[in-house]
Structure 1
Amino acid sequence: MGRTVICYDNAAAESFFGLLKAEIGTTLWESRDAARADVFRFIEVEYNRTTFRRHPEFGYLTPLETRTRLQHDFTPPAA
């Protein structure tokens, strides 16, 4: 989230929450725990691990693939 009155600061957050609303919709959960589990599932399974966010700027990699590649690239060589 960004500064007040600067709409461009909030663009990424607004984009994510718009996507979350579009995917989950107006679901009514039986408890707060069920809602949290559903949102967690969406973020970790659909948003981070699938082709959902593939984009040419990131080499068509998902966020999980990008993180794994970066961790591998920064692993120190064996001594």
Structure 2
Amino acid sequence: MTALGTSIDAAAVGVTLALLNANIIVIALSIGAATFLMSTAGMLVGRAIGARFGSVVEFIGGVALIGLGAKILEHTGYLR
């Protein structure tokens, strides 16, 4: 479902950009640069936090993912 949603979103953005006659080169470079910068920053912050707090942060992340999954199941009607 996530892949399908992502594909529909990407198609909608692509069609919208084509209809607006946007400069796709500038937009693609901007998206690539933003993705690179945020991914790099996330890796550096994660490395620093992981070295200091290790298992505590892993536990908190696991609890957050379980909570997110439960919320998704709640919205689908499988978990009430």
State the TM-score, normalizing by the size of structure 2.
Answer: 0.29
Name which one, 1 or 2, has greater alpha-carbon Rg.
2
Greater helix content: 2
- Which has the bigger relative contact order, CA under 8 A and spacing at least 6? 1
